[in-house]
């Protein structure tokens, strides 16, 4: 026993001092946990904390997050190296052991998968986000936007302060519920799934993250406590998973009973259609997908995999788009001259009641504003992280296999040497001269860049076009300036109270 204790003590001590022993600066935290408590504080979003650390320790530093060794970078060249040039060495995403084993779990999702399993999932799911597929769902998105407008009209003009973030959550939930899971018709302001999806992000599950990060060998027990006993704030997660599981299972049965093949109606159909007759019951280590040569052969998803992908698209699609809308609307309310320019563009390019795909693609200035808001608030920056799979050289640093590299997107996005002296300002115009700025990383970069990027921007454009041709957003006494930012996986405004004013023509 004493031997065991000494062994574990040395193991944890060596881990905790990993960066110090390599002369790489960074916050030390406490033994075993490292800085994991800081990474899990809803009131101090990790992206903002990391930005402060960069100011203190420089463009490359390290810290430990439980048993994860994290190297933080905010140098554009190193970022390009990790996300694009050396993708073969950094093809995993930083993940906590409670998220599952990317190599073995049958129910792995695209965000957590790695290697050839990731490649296979990405190849199969990507067509759902192609231009063609997005065009097909445009009328559904527009219908949700019009429903949104009907709700907004009830308060518009009253001068009443509305928490727009909650409104945008209703909209983004409505859209993704309909296009991913085939919800027939709008459930806006009456959707029980929204409550659970919000809980998924807002509920405090930090204890299970911290414990599994520090004691990965305890994950089976923690999972049992979470799934079987419902501990650690499991409720919303389990409810969303159950809804998705029931919907997919029901669809499988329905398709088997009907035996007819209609055009795919939603992501579930698209993913099931990519599945051959026989399910792969024993997808796992023996599966040939783990060998490079077989990757493109197997275009089939098991029902379990369909459930996992729908789950991740539902939660990723709902939360991010609502937050992105909140930031752009906050900024245009603070800058009425920019809002007016967007409105003039909408009036010019979208004269008919229905808005077409081509018209949306001509809303250039609106798109600049959307990107500029995401530059100032790269709210999903936490996902911009990779796991080193093979020891390699990153600039002057040797990065060992197993180390996680976290990009400090916030520092990069405010770097005056990249964006100019006005980097702190909201200036959509800056985008007119740079269609492709490699240091804009709100959607990540390289082969694992956000799959929903085009869908998210389109959803934003449809809603803004419909709302802004009738109304303007204005600040009021309840508007928090500057906004208080909160959140862990994503950084969201604590609230966004604005008034909605009818435009005068
Ligand atoms: C404004 C809205 C959004 C933002 C800012 C955002 C941001 C991000 C970021 C930063 C990443 C990590 C990229 C990387 O590691 O290089 C990511 C990945 C991902 N996003 Fe988004 N996202 C948004 C909307 C969406 C939507 C609407 C969906 C789907 C419905 C989605 C699905 C995904 C998926 C599946 C991944 C993982 C891709 C992979 O690992 O292959 N996202 N997103």
pLDDT, tens digit (0-9, with 9 covering 90-100), for 172-200: 999 999 999 999 999 999 999 999 999 88
Contact (Cβ atoms closer than 8 angstroms) between residue 218 and residue 265: no
pLDDT reported for residue 277: 35
Q: Which residue has the higher pLDDT, 9 or 456?
A: 456
pLDDT reported for residue 293: 35
C-beta of 79 in contact with ligand 1 (< 6 A):
no
CA–centroid distance, 358 to ligand 1, in Å, is: 24
- 283: confidence class by pLDDT, cuts 50, 70, 90: very low
Segment 448-492, tens digit of pLDDT: 999 999 999 999 999 999 999 999 999 999 999 999 999 999 999
Does residue 450 have a known ligand-binding role? yes
C-beta of 443 in contact with ligand 1 (< 6 A):
yes
Mutational pocket test of ligand 1: of 305, 312, 450, the residue with most ligand atoms within 8 Å of the beta carbon? 450
Q: Is the pLDDT of residue 206 over 90?
A: no
CA–centroid distance, 312 to ligand 1, in Å, is: 10
CA–centroid distance, 316 to ligand 1, in Å, is: 7
Q: Which residues of 39-54 are buried (b: 16+ CB within 10 A; e: fewer)?
A: bbeeebbbbebbbebb
Q: Is the pLDDT of residue 280 over 50?
A: no
C-beta of 112 in contact with ligand 1 (< 6 A):
no
Q: Please choose, from the candidates 460, 452, 455, 167, the residue with its C-alpha nearest in 3D space to the C-alpha of residue 313.
A: 452
C-beta of 314 in contact with ligand 1 (< 6 A):
no
Helices (H) and strands (E) in the chain, counts: 20, 11
CA–centroid distance, 23 to ligand 1, in Å, is: 34
Q: Is the pLDDT of residue 55 over 80?
A: yes
3-state secondary structure 226-253: HHHCCCCCCHHHHHHHHHHHHHHHHHHH
Segment 65-100, tens digit of pLDDT: 999 999 999 999 999 999 999 999 999 999 889 888
Q: Enter the tokens of residue 313.
A: 């698209």
pLDDT reported for residue 294: 38
User: What homologous superfamily does CATH list for 121-502?
Assistant: Cytochrome P450 (1.10.630.10)
CA–centroid distance, 266 to ligand 1, in Å, is: 19
Segment 395-424, tens digit of pLDDT: 999 999 999 999 999 999 999 999 999 999
pLDDT reported for residue 408: 98
CA–centroid distance, 426 to ligand 1, in Å, is: 23
pLDDT, mean over the chain: 90
Lowest-confidence pick of 3-7, 49-53, 219-223: 3-7
Contact (Cβ atoms closer than 8 angstroms) between residue 439 and residue 124: no
Using a pLDDT cut of 70, give the percent of the chain over it: 93
Contact (Cβ atoms closer than 8 angstroms) between residue 102 and residue 115: yes
C-beta of 439 in contact with ligand 1 (< 6 A):
no
> Among the atoms of ligand 1, which is closest to the Cα of residue 125?
35
pLDDT reported for residue 275: 54
């Amino acid at each position: 026993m004493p031997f065991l204790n000494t062994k574990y003590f040395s193991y944890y001590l060596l881990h905790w001092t990993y960066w110090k022993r390599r002369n790489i600066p960074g916050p030390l935290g406490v033994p075993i946990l490292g800085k994991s408590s800081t990474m899990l504080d809803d009131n101090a979003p990790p992206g903002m904390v990391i930005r402060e650390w960069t100011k203190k320790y420089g463009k490359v530093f390290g810290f430990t997050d439980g048993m994860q060794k994290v190297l933080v970078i905010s140098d554009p060249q190193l970022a390009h190296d990790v996300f694009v040039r050396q993708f073969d060495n950094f093809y995993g995403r930083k993940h906590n052991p409670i998220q599952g084993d990317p190599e073995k779990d049958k129910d792995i999702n695209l965000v957590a998968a790695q290697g050839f399993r990731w490649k296979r999932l990405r190849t199969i799911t990507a067509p759902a986000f192609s231009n063609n597929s997005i065009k097909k769902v445009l009328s559904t998105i527009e219908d949700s936007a019009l429903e949104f407008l009907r709700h907004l009209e009830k308060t518009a003009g009253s001068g009443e302060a509305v928490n727009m973030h909650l409104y945008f959550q209703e909209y983004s939930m409505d859209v993704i519920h309909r296009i991913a899971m085939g919800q027939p018709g709008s459930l806006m302001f009456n959707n029980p799934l929204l409550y659970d999806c919000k809980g998924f992000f807002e509920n405090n599950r930090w204890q299970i993250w911290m414990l599994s990060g520090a004691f990965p060998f305890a994950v089976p027990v923690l999972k049992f406590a979470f799934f079987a006993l419902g501990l650690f704030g499991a409720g919303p997660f389990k409810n969303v998973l159950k809804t998705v599981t029931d919907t997919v299972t029901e669809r499988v049965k329905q398709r088997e009973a009907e035996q007819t093949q209609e055009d795919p109606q939603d992501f579930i159909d698209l993913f099931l259609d990519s599945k051959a007759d026989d399910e792969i019951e024993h997808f796992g280590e023996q599966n040939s997908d783990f060998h490079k040569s077989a990757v493109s052969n197997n275009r089939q998803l098991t029902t379990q995999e369909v459930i996992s992908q729908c789950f991740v698209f539902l939660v990723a699609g709902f939360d991010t788009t609502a937050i992105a809308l909140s930031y752009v609307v906050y900024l245009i309310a603070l800058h009425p001259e920019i809002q007016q320019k967007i409105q003039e563009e909408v009036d010019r390019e979208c004269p008919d009641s229905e808005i077409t795909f081509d018209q949306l693609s001509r809303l250039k200035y609106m798109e600049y504003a959307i990107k500029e808001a995401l530059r100032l608030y790269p709210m999903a920056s936490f996902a911009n992280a990779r796991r080193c799979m093979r020891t390699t050289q990153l600039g002057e640093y040797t990065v060992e296999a197993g180390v996680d590299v976290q990009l400090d997107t916030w520092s990069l996005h405010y770097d005056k040497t990249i964006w100019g002296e006005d980097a702190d300002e909201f200036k959509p115009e800056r985008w007119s001269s740079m269609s492709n700025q490699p240091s804009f990383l709100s959607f990540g970069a390289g082969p694992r860049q956000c799959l929903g990027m085009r869908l998210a921007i389109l959803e934003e454009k449809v809603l803004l076009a419909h709302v802004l041709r009738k109304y303007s957003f204005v600040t009021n006494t309840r508007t928090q300036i500057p906004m208080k930012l909160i959140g862990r996986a994503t950084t969201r405004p604590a609230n966004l109270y604005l008034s909605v004013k009818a435009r005068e023509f």
